[in-house]
Amino acid sequence: MKYTAELKKFITGQSIYSGVRIAMAIVIPAVILAYFGLLKEFFLFPLATSFLGMTDQPGPAVRRRNTLIFAVFCFTFVAAFATLLKDFPPLVYAEIIVFAMFFSMIGVYGQRLAAVGSLALVVMAIFVDRHFASGGILKNLLIFAAGCVWYVVVFMVVSKLQPYKLIGQMIGENYLQLADYLRIKAGFYQKEPDYSQLFTQAIAKQVRIKNHQEETRETVFKTRAFVRESTTESRQLMMMFLNSIDLHEKLMTSENDYRKLQAAFGNSSILKEINQFLMTLANEISHIGISMQGGIRAKSRVDLDEKLDHVYDTYYALRNREMNSESLEKFLVLRQILMRLNEVTDEIKNIFSISSQDLKLAKSLSTGLDYEKFIPKQEKLNVKVLFTNVSLESGHFRHAVRITVALLLGYIISRFSFLGIGHSYWILITITAILKPSYSITKHRNLLRLYGTIGGAVAAYLLLHLITNTSVLLFILLSSMILCFSFLKEKYMWAVFFMTVYIFLTFNFLNPGNIDIIFKDRILDTAIAGAIAFSVSYLVLPVWEHTQTADLMKASAKNNSKYFSAVTGKFLGEKFSVEYYKIRRKEAIVSLANLSDSFQRMISDPKNQQRKMEVLHQFVTTSHLITAYTASLSQYSKTKENYPEIDAESWIRKISAELHQTESLLNARKINPEKKQESDLKPEDMVSELLIKRKKELDEQEFYDRRDKNRITRLTELKNIREIFILIYNTAKEQRKVVEDYYRTNQQS
């Protein structure tokens, strides 16, 4: 069942859809040219199409179109210059310096232009090599430009025919990521869970969810058709995306003190029942995601109410058997967890309702939000931004210098005749593909590139020696091309594997009998490029993750504090603004994910550059918990209920004081003495008195077996609110101590 679901996810996903589109755009004209015996002469046409296709990243259609047009001009310009200068080695070195610096620096304007810059350097590598020098210069440039334009035409046609396809797939992927996150959360209810591993997995998944949500948010909110068109399909998809964001928050609200929970109920069957129900919910969320990717309406496959009733029956049986005055507080916590299950279940049922709704009846779907406030900020195409980054303090500039040095070294080595390198441009292309701004990513991609190349080369070598049927080889070539472009983003090693296979097969069709030479060149070039990229990333102006962590910690602490204030305003009598709250929630989750991502990358840095790893890990963990606990508290801010029994003002001042002290320490500001005093406030809640009263009732055998899963007692709510305040305070206090230790050890060293 698991493998079937994984196959469906892959078949309906945007990766395979994009892979097929790029492959077909390459293959169709190639087949036509081959039919007329012109493929060798016009080989630059499908090659240009493949380059442009790789710059086509998910996003708003207008931005994708503009990026593709910009790429056409960049690629043609680079191809022209490289062709004209290829016979003048001194000028080639100057060309490499200028192009490498410029096309690496344009990454300051975002990932889309960074991709264009990388592919522009690949074009340069191709055209400085003499393999592509045959024929007239003008003719080659026109063929190459035509291949680029052809992909733009394909993109425009597909976008017009299926305007909502990409957005549906991206939203579907969002649900699939949430399903994986819920499966991780379900692990905490297993018997003897590995807490450390599960927390690490949860934080890593949060990073992936954040990155994908940012891409999806830009596509959804920036697409003119979504914001301004009145089509019911666009409204429906918009609601599905916004509901996925709300579902993400509800999943975060299920954060608990799992160790206490296991100690209290680990020997009973209730935690196992909760685990199984969460897995059922995760499978239903996956079903929603797969359905959205496939463009079909999702309908629930199981009766969630019946499954939830079974969990409640287990709970009631346990409660009636074991609840007394001593175990009351433990059962109040468990009852609150079940209430959260109730809310998540209702949210999923609501999503199914929206997904399966008749489009004719969906005209009333509306959000009332100002979408512009949720769009990720991007650098404007201002020349000043580029010049501002021409500094050793800029990570973009340092990366550009590394790329330039590596390409110069690669070109110099490729000119050594004693090495007998037949396809020297592969060295420059591999350097461009491997060398990334982060040392850890460069190191990781280096290994993946090497493994994928060796595996693909061996596989292609065997295929060409064992299979002689041209039709079979063509089928393998097409399949490899589709899989290469499909895996390029998520599974880089497999992308390189299939890329190597289709490159070998392509060269064999163009020049049969050279398989041994191609095999040697491919392995040798990859090894040389890998060694250059690794050495340069380590030695030339490296940017280590520990130099970034201070700013990321500041951002996380600041946004968590803002998120807490937005959530607790209602407890102080302020009006609750849904839009303001959602903006603060987004900022807190994004900054937490950025910090977590940096920590994960630091693990791959050299040991001598892994500074204060334990302290940073504690800060990441406490930040994650503060965000999750605040999300739990937010459920009570959205209701019309007031909770005068809770001394909310004292709790908020107490917690805010700890958060403020952490911010002050991170920003090297003197801590306000008043904040230290506020941190020691003792809230005067009535919850303890109510608990004592209820325990007395239980001792006097005043117990009522009420079985209404939608009803939750006032005491349960009050106990949970106070428990959340305690958890946030304790975690904020722990984080403040972590930061104090962090700066104390820094000063000592």
Task: Give the pLDDT of residue 416.
Answer: 80
- 71-93 as b/e: b if 16+ CB within 10 A: bbebbbebbbbbbebbeeeeebe
- The sign of the CA dihedral 55, 60, 61, 62 is negative
Task: Give the pLDDT of residue 226.
Answer: 47
CA distance 379 to 536: 28
- Does 372 have pLDDT greater than 70? no
CA-to-CA separations, 108 to 23, 214, 218, 587, in angstroms, rounded: 30, 17, 18, 21
Q: Rounded to two decimals, what is the model's pTM?
A: 0.80
> How far, in whole angstroms, is CA 194 from its chain's centroid?
24
Residue type, 282: A
Reported confidence tier of residue 703, pLDDT bands at 50, 70, 90:
low
Task: Give the pLDDT of residue 615.
Answer: 80
Nearest 5°: CA angle at 331, between 327 and 337?
A: 155
- The Cβ of residue 22 has, within 10 Å, a number of other Cβ atoms equal to 25
Query: Does residue 431 contact residue 534 with C-beta atoms inside 8 Å?
Result: no
- The single-letter DSSP state of residue 572 is G
CA distance 95 to 574: 62
- Does 160 have pLDDT greater than 70? yes
CA distance 334 to 336: 5
Q: DSSP per residue over 629-658, as a string?
A: HHHHHHHHHSSS---TTS-HHHHHHHHHHH
Identify which of 176-190, 209-223, 335-349 has the greatest average pLDDT.
176-190
3-state helix, strand, coil in the chain (%, to 5): 80, 0, 20
Torsion region of 639: left, alpha or beta (phi above 0 gives left; psi -120 to 50 gives alpha): beta
CB within 8 Å of 20: residues ≥ 6 apart: 482, 486
Q: How far apart are the first and last CA of the chain?
A: 55
CA distance 531 to 514: 26
- The sign of the CA dihedral 724, 725, 729, 730 is negative
Task: Work out the average pLDDT over 537-556.
Answer: 85
Domains located in the chain, CATH noted: 1-163 (no CATH), 164-222+232-374 (1.20.58), 389-543 (no CATH), 545-748 (1.20.120)
CB within 8 Å of 94: residues ≥ 6 apart: none
Residues 326-360 have pLDDT tens digits of 777 788 888 888 888 888 898 899 888 888 765 55
Reported confidence tier of residue 445, pLDDT bands at 50, 70, 90:
confident
Reported confidence tier of residue 645, pLDDT bands at 50, 70, 90:
confident
Among the ranges given (260-274, 534-548, 598-612, 642-656), the one the predictor scored with the smallest mean pLDDT: 598-612
Residues 40-87 have pLDDT tens digits of 888 889 999 999 999 988 878 888 899 999 999 999 999 999 888 888
Among the ranges given (136-145, 202-211, 449-458, 479-488), the one the predictor scored with the smallest mean pLDDT: 202-211
Query: Does residue 292 contact residue 172 with C-beta atoms inside 8 Å?
Result: yes
Query: Does residue 158 contact residue 21 with C-beta atoms inside 8 Å?
Result: yes
- Tracing tokens 């500001």 back to the chain, one arrives at 669
Task: Give the pLDDT of residue 258.
Answer: 81
Task: Work out the average pLDDT over 421-445.
Answer: 84
Q: Which two tokens stand for residue 43?
A: 């080989």
- Does 546 have pLDDT greater than 80? no
CA distance 733 to 731: 5
Nearest 5°: CA angle at 79, between 75 and 80?
A: 120
Residues 377-419 have pLDDT tens digits of 554 567 777 888 888 888 889 999 999 999 999 999 888 876 6
Q: Which two tokens stand for residue 537?
A: 């990333």
